[in-house]
Amino acid sequence: MVKVSIHQNKDGKINGFRCIGHAGYAESGQDIVCSAVSILVINTINSIETFTSDIFDFKEDEKKGLIEFKVVSNLSDRAEVLLYSLLLGLQGIEDEFGRDYIKIDKRIQ
């Protein structure tokens, strides 16, 4: 199962996340849930790096399926939108495939 923790700053805005695990929906290389999560996460990080001047910390461990990301500077409006877009996409995957494969530990309404 992919476990996603959404992190918020003191103002309640999303400023990072931790994503760990493998979905187990199908065999490695065929797992569309893992692929979808990976694409959303990597695209979000790349977009924040490319389209904002936000400073962030990033850690990954491919073997564990771990990605940790946190904006450590003041959160820009663009980065905030990109992080909320990530959450929206992850919630869509969770709604479509179920919590046996992906679990988001905090939903932002």
Of 109 and 71, the structure prediction assigns the larger pLDDT to: 71
Q: Is 38 left (phi over 0), alpha (psi -120 to 50) or beta?
A: alpha
> Does the pTM of the predicted model rise above 0.85?
yes
Going 11 to 14 to 18 to 24, the CA torsion angle's sign is positive
Report pLDDT digits (tens) over 77-101.
999 999 999 999 999 999 999 999 9
Report pLDDT digits (tens) over 16-64.
999 999 999 999 889 999 999 999 999 999 999 999 999 999 999 988 8
Six token digits for residue 94: 């969770």
The domain limits of the chain are 2-104
H or E stretch covering 50: helix 32-51
C-beta neighbour count of 101 within 10 angstroms: 22
Query: 4: pLDDT confidence band, cut at 50, 70 and 90?
Result: very high
**Domain 2-104 coded CATH 3.30.70.1490:** yes
Q: Which residue has the tokens 């923790």?
A: 5
Query: 10: pLDDT confidence band, cut at 50, 70 and 90?
Result: confident
